[in-house]
Structure 1
């Protein structure tokens, strides 16, 4: 049985670890030829070697337009086309109080997390428009939508990705190209482990730390985000463009518990004026 991306070619930036690695593995398993881009040479080459001839590692700095242009050209030269561009590379970037923020750190955060996405969109569109088909996906964050869950500049650029994607979706729709944003919650990954655990290599510590605050029965893993990216990349999303897909256990849409379904509200009723409750059901009109 053919996979959902059989015959397609995908580029995944930040593809050597975390969400990127999970997506590379899922796209490959679904039949795609995958070009993974990263600055992590050893991890990227090892993943490509593991997956075989339908995977290729290309060392890429997404802040350098010439690198991104060469990445796209390499995908086309090696595999003949480009169907999916997943702009996933990102860093946490500048951290600290706003009144002490170093502008050099701001610049690198913007360069990787937003300018890199612009470059990816530009060069993907360059080769997708003549074929009149393609899917462009970019990784944002709940920090784009909620205050207090990410560093300041990270939050700003992740919000910028949503605005950028929606604007580009309107432009590229007539060319048969879909442009969408995916919003993962906190994922068990090296980047998250570097923040919540003993270091970037402490994935077990990240799993444990995120498990303690998970909104569902376990923490979010790269494979969960890859499943969302697969949907946006494939034919099931043929009429889906300009959307924000949260893969966050409801963090951005249902962040808190439901307070009126338990405790003193466990028995169903209706709250009326001045705190009066509706009478017990079964005696006709109860209010």
Structure 2
């Protein structure tokens, strides 16, 4: 039996590189998928591609009313909500802290942190109603390896992802007795437009600053690398895991893998 048969999953940022990968894989595993995004054209096209077990709903993660509408859309379409994937995120144009304007700071935290907070807050009652099923409920927050250390010129993004870690742990404590598990994934450098295209207002992409050559696994990650971990954490296979953090970065945080000279 597919891992998510008869379950409904809401994925935010569901049209992006990682988001669309998550949506397609969850659907292939039997889930009813609700694609939450601000890009109506791409969202509707993806839902049409997947068929009757998929719906697009316009979702601005910074707006509590928009969240209420997305959860209601999931319930109206499929009768319940079982899993929330807080995947939506934005990157700031690189700049030192002293040259980062307040509007940029606020925008990044609004999407990456407040958006995750509002998702947990709004989805929790719906997840609680369905958590009595065998699998319980699940929330998976997508953070970043930048939430595990400092990165020069990316203060708003780094701060937002650090904060998601604390939010995840708090939510795990509050919701665990309701059989709702809350975990975090920290992707490293994943080959998506988010990495390969400059953020709004920037001239360089994140990929311009990272070569995978020093990684223990010397390649950029693929969206499917993250998706496979997500499928595990959202499923009943992870029924005893909550408040945990999973790094998927090819060894980026380990430091450089030096090659010994051949004899």
TM-score by length of 1: 0.82
Specify every segment of 5 or more residues in structure 2 that has no aligned partner in the other structure, as ranges.
none
Corresponding position of 1:256: 256
**RMSD of equivalent CA atoms:** 2.4
Q: Pick from 170, 190, 198 the counterpart of residue 187 of structure 1.
A: 190
Contact 1:143 1:149 in 2 (8 A): no
In structure 1, distance between residues paired with 2:170 and 2:63: 23
Q: Cα–Cα, structure 1 residues 103 and 170, in superposed 2: closer, same or farther, change >3 Å?
A: same
Contact 1:9 1:83 in 2 (8 A): yes
Q: Cα–Cα, structure 1 residues 221 and 96, in superposed 2: closer, same or farther, change >3 Å?
A: same
Q: Which consecutive segments of 4 or more residues in structure 1 shift more than 6 A?
A: none
Corresponding position of 1:148: 151
In structure 1, distance between residues paired with 2:234 and 2:79: 18
TM-score by length of 2: 0.89
Query: What is the CA-CA distance between 1:193 and the residue it aligns to?
Result: 1.3
The structure whose Rg is larger is 1
Q: Cα–Cα, structure 1 residues 215 and 257, in superposed 2: closer, same or farther, change >3 Å?
A: closer
Corresponding position of 1:127: 126
Specify every segment of 5 or more residues in structure 1 that has no aligned partner in the other structure, as ranges.
267-287
Query: What is the CA-CA distance between 1:218 and the residue it aligns to?
Result: 3.1
Give deviations 1:165-199, integer Å, cap 9, x for gaps.
01110111100000000111111111111139xx9
Corresponding position of 2:18: 19
Corresponding position of 1:222: 223
Q: Cα–Cα, structure 1 residues 226 and 44, in superposed 2: closer, same or farther, change >3 Å?
A: same
Corresponding position of 1:269: none
Query: What is the CA-CA distance between 1:18 and the residue it aligns to?
Result: 0.8
Contact 1:135 1:177 in 2 (8 A): yes
Q: Cα–Cα, structure 1 residues 212 and 44, in superposed 2: closer, same or farther, change >3 Å?
A: farther
Correspondence 1:109-120 to 2 at 5 A: 109-120=108-119
Contact 1:17 1:43 in 2 (8 A): no
Contact 2:36 2:57 in 1 (8 A): yes
Corresponding position of 1:64: 63
